[in-house]
Chain A
Amino acid sequence: MSLTKEQIAQVIARELQDGYYVNLGIGIPTLVANYVPENMEIMLQSENGLLGMGEFPTEENIDADLINAGKQTVTVLDGGSFFSSAESFAMIRGGHVDLTVLGAFEIDQSGNIASYMIPGKLVKGMGGAMDLVAGADNIIVAMTHANKHGVSKILKECTLPLTGVNCVKKVVTDLAVMELIDGKFHLLERAPGVSVEEIQEKTQAELVISGEVSEIKI
């Protein structure tokens, strides 16, 4: 069975470390905040100008002046701070954010990522994603492995306009956890009940499979 969005988030949450400053993109990445291990202190950075993002507010505490980068109403934790967009991207570009998690339309074995537009069809805009991928050393991509027709989104070479080059290190999909080393994806783990063959079939990029590939434990 392929992983649900929540389970993808749960798998990514294993990468969190005590004391990390983390930026979570819109969509599946946002869900990672729900799986921060207990006894671990991390701070979430939201690029619209918030460090120390808390959970969603109660109905009484909703504040239109307090949102995250997904424009959702949120809260701020004690010890949090507010700042301008310029300051926010100084943190990001300056390499102060320890982990960035973001979504993608496509990634490829050169570490390139495409996530902001499909020419002629869909324009989302890159928002802060280009700055995030350029500034972070530690990037995890959360995405589905293939489109709804079963066509791979893990490619030899991206076909869509790029968000960043040579920046992807690790990807967690609904089918697998893979790491990119020297221009090749290495299959680290597979979703429960998903065969190595299926993953191979849905991966257009070069895939390295060594030994027994264990199932992801949820």
Chain B
Amino acid sequence: MSGLNKVVNSYDEALAGISNDMTLMVGGFGLCGIPEGLIQKVADTEVKGLTCISNNAGVDGFGLGKLLEKRQIKTMIGSYVGENKLFEQLFLSGEMEVILTPQGTLAEKIRAAGAGIPAFYTATGFGTEVAKGKETKEYNGKNYILEEAFPKADFALVKAWKADRYGNLIFKKTAANFNPMIATAGKITVVEVEEIVEPGELDPNYIHTPGIYVDRVIVGKFEKRIEQRTVKQ
């Protein structure tokens, strides 16, 4: 890794500098588009007290579920617990702090963090527990609450399909989800990709995330576990 070359060759290098009590943003929707190897690497360390910002917390035993099992997460900020038993249990028992955040607000708080916007008004959550303690304002007869952007994450962990050494990224299908915003919102943005191609191979017209946001790129191996395997009858 030097100059504009973002490529690193080991997970140690990819996560160099990670320590206790840091904030991580982690891409993915359910198990789709998660940086599997980077999460595994965090689980392999003894790092704890983490704040994780991610739509979901994986499933029992996979994805961020691995960090839950090792009790490495102190605070989880996400929108959906779903069928993750351990997550639900840690939440209900109070062992882990959970800040449930509406999915669109979560996406926008991350986007705003990367875009230098400190706060924004949204109608989402008005009149609900989400609005508690937040400033409200009426515009054109509709009520809004003020939501603050997240601070930049110490590490943003992203999964993309392809990258070049400059860190230009493209995502694949619905594996994009939260990854493009998270890529913009890290003090250190680390991207795990399926393939690194030569500069010029990615058409500049179709770059999803320009390399300016990206600090480190590593080629990973992905199991791509499927949560709900549904087929046509």
Contact = CB atoms under 8 A, between A and B. Distances in A.
Interface in B89-116: 91-92, 98, 100, 102-108, 110-111
A16 B174 CA distance: 25
Interface string B132-153: 0000000000000000000000
A85 B177 contact: yes
Interface residues of B, number: 55
A168 to B, nearest CB: 13
Interface stretch (A61-69, A182-190, A207-215): A61-69
A128 B32 contact: no
A159 to B, nearest CB: 14
A9 to B, nearest CB: 16
Contact of A134 (B78, B124, B177, B181): B124
Contacts of B61: none
Interface string B20-40: 000000000111110000000
B221 interface: no
A84 interface: yes
Given A49-B177, A65-B172, A126-B79, A161 B224 contact: no
B29 A56 contact: no
What class of interface size applies to chain A in its complex with B? 35 or more
B175 interface: yes
Contacts, number: 176
Contacts of A79: none
B75 interface: no
Given A55-B232, A85-B107, A86-B181, A65 B82 contact: no
Interface in A97-126: 112, 116-117, 120-126
Nearest to B100: A125
Contacts of B226: 62, 64, 67, 73
Contact of A63 (B100, B102, B173): B173
B231 interface: yes
A165 B104 contact: no
B178 interface: yes
B181 A47 contact: no
B81 interface: yes
Given A58-B231, A65-B174, A71-B31, A165 B126 contact: yes
24 contacts: A46-B174, A47-B103, A48-B174, A49-B177, A64-B226, A65-B32, A65-B173, A67-B226, A74-B230, A85-B104, A86-B108, A89-B104, A117-B100, A123-B98, A125-B81, A126-B102, A127-B103, A128-B103, A130-B128, A134-B122, A135-B104, A161-B128, A164-B126, A165-B126
Interface of B: 29-33, 55, 78-82, 88, 91-92, 98, 100, 102-108, 110-111, 122-130, 171-181, 224-233
Given A65-B175, A85-B107, A135-B123, 16 more contacts: A46-B174, A57-B231, A68-B174, A70-B228, A72-B230, A73-B226, A73-B229, A82-B173, A83-B176, A84-B181, A85-B106, A89-B108, A123-B100, A124-B81, A131-B105, A163-B128
